[in-house]
Amino acid sequence: MTRFWFRTLALASALLVGARTQDDKPVEKSENGCSLKIAKSKFKSHEEIKVDFTAPGTLNKLSWVGVIPSEIEHGSTAKNDQHDVAYQYLQGRASGTLKFKAPAKPGSWDLRLNDATSASGKELVFITFTVEPPPGHDIKPSLTLAAKEFTSHTMFSAKFAAPSIWDAYAYVGIFRIAAPHDSGMKSGAHTLYRMSIGGKTEGQLSFRAPGKPGEYELRMFDSSGNDGKEILTAPFKVTAPADKANIQPEIKLAKNSFHSHQNLEGTFQIPITYEYAGWIGILPADSPHGTAQENDRYDVAYEYLSGRTGGALSIRAPGKPGKYDLRLHDSSWVDGKEILSVPFEVTLPPGGDRKPALKADKEKYAPGEAITIAFESPAYFHYQAWVGLIPSATPHGTASKNDEFDVAYEYLHGRMEGTITFKAPATVGSWDIRMSDAAFGGDGKEHASVTVTVGN
């Protein structure tokens, strides 16, 4: 009896080992002077796949290996390029290992090596693997709202369920009910807000209702890619209190001239129907007027409305003297409009045209010692002009180059004079303290420099 039990157990173990070996055997193929090899034929969704490859060194550096559904017709690099869900370039290598993530969707998939030496490139070799259905792959999608009507800008939540085979970019978005029904990728042009499902099979998403009253709906997509499909919708309505909806838009400035970087003294009022991401921006007066998107190209400062119907302005004047407009926009979306414009002027404060200058409190510092720098700066620099500690070997001239190599920095924030303290680096040698105007909004140039030595 005992011998029989052990023999039966041994036989069962042998069968299991044999089955496991059958499942796990490597998959490889050689053709057209190329080869692909993976360690097994079956993978779980999102499991790592290591692909060993060989290829002629004469292939273009942009030749590539891609993950493509097995049912796609073989032969053409262009055809494969239309359907790949992931890819990596060979970069001129004759051999190596590439790492992919198995697709979320179960089924039969190929790894295909593609020649990119010409527009009529050919598929050179392929191997096939299977993605097994993960737990939760058969969950039925659902999307539910606790209510069907919301007030402008109020927060609301939606419960959802989704199968685990949807990709990581599945999402739920708010759309106007009349917006076209497109693929996950094309729908982006019509999405007002979106929240990613993030690979979860169930949960709750939070949204903010649009400002403008009307009919809307949530739409659920299984992907944000070109092949993403709209799966479910959940309609809702937005309403606005009449007293807040009928407010007449207005901006009032306390005066029409401000010094560089001075906070603009003024107030605004707007209807609640403007979008949460509506905004007030400062633009040069000679900038063309038009849509919110056009004005966004020229603004030098801005603040969002954030659902407010009025209050004090919290925006700072530019540093550069000149004539400007304060412009109100009802939205940041593609159909956002400029509603009104108020002109004002920026002038330099007394001494605002001083020459940029830096002075260290001594010439040599021990590692870790405090380096104290006295600075003078013109008011017309951008609010985020800065002083940084940079190796002396770094080429001079631009804020972007200095920013690439600085080991410490401090913004000037409109100050025209003062002191800045840095800790001397542990690396001995020659170091510069450099003053740069902001790369974005300023002139992006280095304007002053002083050299110090760090040593024992």
3-state secondary structure the chain: CHHHHHHHHHHHHHHHHHHHHHHHCCEEEEECCEEEEECCCEEECCCEEEEEEECCCCCCCCCEEEEEECCCCCCEHHHHHHHCCEEEECCCCCEEEEEEECCCCCEEEEEEEECCCCCCCEEEEEEEEEEECCCCCCCCCEEEECCCEEECCCEEEEEEECCCCCCCCCEEEEEECCCCCCCCCHHHHCCCEEEECCCCCEEEEEEECCCCCEEEEEEEECCCCCCCCEEEEEEEEEECCHHHHCCCCEEEECCCEEECCCECCEEEECCCCCCCCCEEEEEECCCCCCEHHHHHCCCCEEEECCCCCEEECCCECCCCCEEEEEEEECCCCCCCEEEEEEEEEEECCCCCCCCCEEEECCCEECCCCEEEEEEECCCCCCCCCEEEEEECCCCCCEHHHHHHHCCEEEECCCCCEEEEEEECCCCCEEEEEEEECCCCCCCCEEEEEEEEEECC
Judge if 421 and 384 occupy the same domain: yes
Give yes or no: residues 235 and 248 share one domain: no
Domain end position, chosen among 132, 156, 189: 132
Judged against a pLDDT cut of 50, whether residue 254 lies above it is answered with yes
pLDDT in tens, 51-109: 999 999 889 899 999 999 999 999 999 999 999 999 999 999 999 999 999 988 889 99
Q: For 141-170, what is the mean pLDDT?
A: 94
* Confidence tier at 125 by pLDDT (50, 70, 90): very high
Same domain, 217 and 286: no
Diameter of the chain measured on Cα atoms: 105
Whether the per-residue pLDDT at 14 is higher than 50: the answer is no
Residue ending a domain, among 214, 239, 264, is 239
* pLDDT on residue 23: 54
Percent of the chain with pLDDT over 70: 95
pLDDT of 320 higher than 50: yes
Q: Give domain status of residue 174, yes or no.
A: yes
Residue 5, domain member (yes or no) = no
Name the residue with higher pLDDT: 255 or 456: 255
pLDDT > 90: percent of the chain: 82
Inside any domain, residue 97: yes
Averaged confidence pLDDT in the chain: 92
7 pLDDT above the threshold of 60: no
Starting at the edge strand found earlier in the chain, the sheet holding 142-145 runs: 142-145, 155-161, 202-208
pLDDT band of residue 256 (cuts 50, 70, 90) is: very high
Residue 122 backbone dihedrals phi, psi, to 5 degrees:
-115, 150
What distance in Å separates the CA atoms of residue 358 and residue 364, rounded to the nearest whole number? 16
Report the number of distinct structural domains present in the chain. Answer: 4
Is 370 in the same domain as 314? Answer: no
Residues 410/384, Cβ–Cβ less than 8 Å: no
Q: Which of 132, 163, 178 is the last residue of a domain?
A: 132
Residue 322 and residue 278 share a domain: yes
126 and 152, same domain (yes or no):
no
Structure tokens at 176: 């106007």
What is the mean predicted confidence (pLDDT) over 179-190? 86
Q: Are residues 442 and 400 in contact, defined by beta-carbon separation less than 8 angstroms? A: no
Same domain, 251 and 328: yes
Quick one: pLDDT at residue 276? 96
Residue 17 forms part of a structural domain: no
| Dist. CA 54–CA 37, nearest whole Å | 9
Residue range 234-242: average pLDDT?
97
Per-residue pLDDT for 15 more than 90? no
Domain that holds residue 220: 142-239
Model confidence band, residue 318 (pLDDT cutoffs 50, 70, 90): very high
Residue 292 banded pLDDT, cuts 50, 70, 90: very high
Give the pLDDT confidence score for residue 278 in this predicted structure: 96
In the predicted structure, residue 237 carries a pLDDT above the cut 50: yes
Task: For residues 148 and 215, give the distance between their C-alpha atoms in angstroms, rounded to a whole number.
Answer: 10
Tokens of 316: 């700072």
How high is the pLDDT of residue 259?
98
Compute the average pLDDT of residues 271-297. 96
Q: Is residue 315 domain-resident?
A: yes
Name the pLDDT band for 9 (thresholds 50, 70, 90): very low
Determine, yes or no, domain membership for 283.
yes
pLDDT band at 440 (very low <50, low <70, confident <90, very high): confident
What is the predicted pLDDT for the residue at 12?
42
CA-CA-CA-CA torsion sign (165, 169, 173, 177)? negative
- Mean pLDDT over 376-383 rounds to 97
pLDDT at 5 exceeding the cut of 70: no
Residues 419 and 392 in one domain: yes
Q: Are 154 and 205 part of one and the same domain?
A: yes
Domain contains 188: yes
Quickly state the pLDDT bin for 224 (edges 50, 70, 90).
Answer: confident
The predicted pLDDT at position 11 comes to 39
Of 121-125, 334-338, 449-453, the least confident: 334-338
pLDDT greater than 80 at residue 20: no
CATH number at residue 36: 2.20.130.20
User: What is the reported pLDDT for 4?
Assistant: 36
Instruction: Determine the Cα–Cα distance for residues 226 and 412; give it in Å rounded to an integer.
Output: 46
Whether residue 231 sits in one domain with residue 169: yes
Residue 24: per-residue pLDDT: 72
Does some domain include residue 165? Answer: yes
To the nearest 10°, the Cα dihedral for 324, 292, 254, 319? -40
pLDDT of 412 strictly over 50: yes
Higher pLDDT, 193 or 134: 193
Residues 259 and 330 in one domain: yes
Which are the contacts of 355, defined by CB distance < 8 A and separation ≥ 6?
376, 378
Say yes or no: 406 and 420 in one domain. yes
**Could you tell me the CATH number of the domain that includes residue 296?**
2.60.40.1930
Q: What is the identity of the amino acid at 456?
A: N
pLDDT score of 334:
83
pLDDT for the residue 130: 96
Stretch 293-310: mean pLDDT: 95
